Amino acid sequence: PDSPLARWTKSLHSLLGDQDGAHLFRTFLEREKCVDTLDFWFACNGFRQMDLKDNKTPRVAKAIYKRYIENYGIVSKQLKLATKAYIKDSIKRQHIDSVMFDQAQTEVQTLMEENAYHMFLTSDIYLEYV
């Protein structure tokens, strides 16, 4: 009952907390051309753990913004306008905060839970692995 596979089906969180699960889900998303959503999700987690006193932190915030939000890619399309405006403004004013991407991450995660995660659990990639 506590096998990795049993955990993967429990929640998106438990899938992403497992190395093999996250890897397989990433392979699936690459094929579906939406791997950026997962990379963004992990980037948000990584960013939250960064030290605000580290001079790398504002540069990482800017890199996340440029790579996923400013470019009208899939992550940008999934986010609410207000969420994007808030992040843009935070970066412009250099108001760097550990939780500045939290709302954006939640929006992407909700869509991932509703769509990609369920598609993954019925995909041939998953079924072959099982």
Partner 1 sequence: IDSEDDLLQECISSAMPKKK
**Which residues of this chain interact with partner 1, rule CB under 8 A?**
16-19, 21-22, 39, 42-47, 49-50, 56, 59-60, 62-64, 66-67
C-alpha distances (whole Å) from 85 to each of 26, 31, 69, 92, 96 are 28, 30, 10, 10, 14
Q: Which is nearer to partner 1, 18 or 102 (CB)?
A: 18
Compute the least distance from the CB of residue 81 to partner 1, in Å.
24
Compute the least distance from the CB of residue 41 to partner 1, in Å.
8
- Residues 130 and 119: their CA atoms lie apart, in Å, by 15
Instruction: Report which DSSP code applies to 121.
Output: H
- Residues 128 and 130: their CA atoms lie apart, in Å, by 5
Compute the least distance from the CB of residue 23 to partner 1, in Å.
9
Q: Which is nearer to partner 1, 17 or 118 (CB)?
A: 17
